[in-house]
């Protein structure tokens, strides 16, 4: 109990050093909140996008080879083409939640069609229904896997960037905390020597220093959570805006159609800090403080009280 009381009393001393330490810890925690909040939220958005795109189905002719050469879909070697009227009739299905069918030079048979299943597990039943409506056997009914990059590419980039930034912040944070711990022990060497000369064990001295850092860390955690939560959305929006400006505006049609399912969040995502993220950040904060504590212990074990007091004199 004395160790904890002594540690709390020491917080009022050497205010300059403690304020500097608090500023560093606050910066690390705030940056961690921003990075982890964006990483977790974008990860959820990616999974929602992937799930939504499993409901997006396209119909396309198979590629055939004639004499060793590939024939493009819709070429003369294919069977009968599917008409626009047939594509429109395919949209009249109980398995669908909607469809986008339009004439296009880029689509198979001059038609660009996307069908949206109510559930991904309805694909086989929808395929069977289309065969009954006259869809040729050399046509595939498949999910639109190619759309994932155009819809969720920006969010994936944001997710990767947030993860990289998080690793950098934690690595630099650990290094800075160790350096601060080493500097603190060097400045408080005489105080440690007095405590050791009074009979306090090395473990208790280290515990006292660790408690000081933990208290400062907990205060900074409270402030950093609030500050990081406020900054997370603007930072995410700024990154996404920069990525959106470099993208082709014509690649967002499917994103607009899937806007209500999470897949349409390729241009902007709503960043939030949930309870899981808060617990992760708290654990990271305590871990960084403990790393500083380990560094303190390693330095304290080298501090012999008699030698320290003689150097002081």
The full set of domain ranges for the chain reads 2-51+149-312, 63-137
Question: Residue 236 CA to chain centroid, in angstroms?
Answer: 11
Predicted confidence (pLDDT) at residue 224 exceeds the cutoff of 50: yes
Q: Mean per-residue pLDDT for 213-223?
A: 90
Predicted confidence (pLDDT) at residue 234 exceeds the cutoff of 80: yes
Lowest mean pLDDT, pick from 97-106, 147-156, 223-232: 147-156
Verdict on whether the full-model pTM lies above 0.85: no
Under a CB-based contact definition with an 8 Å cutoff, are residues 117 and 96 in contact? yes
| Residue 185's pLDDT band (cuts 50, 70, 90) | confident
Q: Mean per-residue pLDDT for 212-227?
A: 91
Edge to edge, the sheet with strand 139-143 lists 96-103, 111-117, 56-61, 139-143
Which token pair is 173? 């944070």
Who wins on pLDDT, 54 or 214? 214
Crossing angle (nearest 10°) for helices 147-187 and 15-53: 160
Characterize 6-21 residue by residue with b for buried, 16 or more Cβ atoms within 10 angstroms of its Cβ, and e for exposed: bbeebeeeeeeebeeb
Distance CA 14, CA 21 (A): 11
Looking at residue 250, its pLDDT comes to: 41
Lowest mean pLDDT, pick from 247-256, 276-285, 286-295, 300-309: 247-256
| Residue 308's pLDDT band (cuts 50, 70, 90) | low
Q: What is the mean pLDDT of the chain?
A: 78
Q: Dump pLDDT digits (tens) for 132-160.
A: 999 998 898 888 666 666 667 778 888 89
Predicted confidence (pLDDT) at residue 45 exceeds the cutoff of 80: yes
């Amino acid at each position: 109990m004395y160790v904890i009381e002594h540690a709390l009393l020491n917080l009022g001393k050497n205010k300059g050093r403690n304020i500097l330490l608090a500023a560093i810890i606050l910066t690390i925690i705030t940056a961690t909140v921003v990075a982890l909040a964006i990483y977790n939220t974008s990860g959820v958005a990616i999974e929602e996008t992937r799930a939504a795109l499993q409901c997006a189905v396209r119909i396309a002719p198979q590629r055939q080879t004639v004499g060793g050469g590939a024939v493009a879909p819709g070429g003369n070697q294919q069977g009968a083409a599917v008409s626009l009227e047939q594509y429109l009739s395919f949209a009249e299905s109980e398995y669908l939640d909607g469809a986008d069918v339009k004439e296009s030079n880029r689509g198979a048979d001059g038609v660009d069609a996307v069908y949206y299943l109510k559930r991904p597990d309805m694909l086989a039943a929808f395929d069977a229904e289309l065969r009954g409506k006259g869809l040729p056997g050399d046509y595939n009914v498949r999910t639109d896997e190619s759309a994932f990059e155009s819809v969720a590419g920006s969010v994936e980039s944001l997710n990767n960037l947030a993860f990289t930034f998080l690793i950098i912040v934690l690595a630099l944070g650990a290094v800075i905390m160790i350096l601060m711990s080493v500097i603190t022990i060097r400045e408080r060497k005489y105080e440690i020597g007095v405590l050791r000369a009074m009979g306090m064990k090395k473990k208790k001295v280290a515990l006292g220093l660790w408690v000081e850092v933990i208290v400062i860390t907990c205060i900074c955690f409270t402030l950093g959570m609030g500050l990081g939560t406020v900054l997370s959305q603007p930072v995410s929006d700024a990154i996404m805006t920069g990525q959106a400006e470099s993208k082709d505006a014509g690649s967002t049609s499917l994103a607009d159609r899937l806007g209500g399912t999470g897949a349409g969040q390729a241009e902007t995502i709503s960043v939030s800090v949930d309870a899981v993220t808060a617990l992760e950040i708290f654990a990271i904060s305590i871990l960084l403080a403990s790393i500083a504590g380990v560094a303190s212990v390693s330095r304290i074990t080298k501090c012999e009280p008699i030698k320290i007091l003689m150097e002081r004199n």
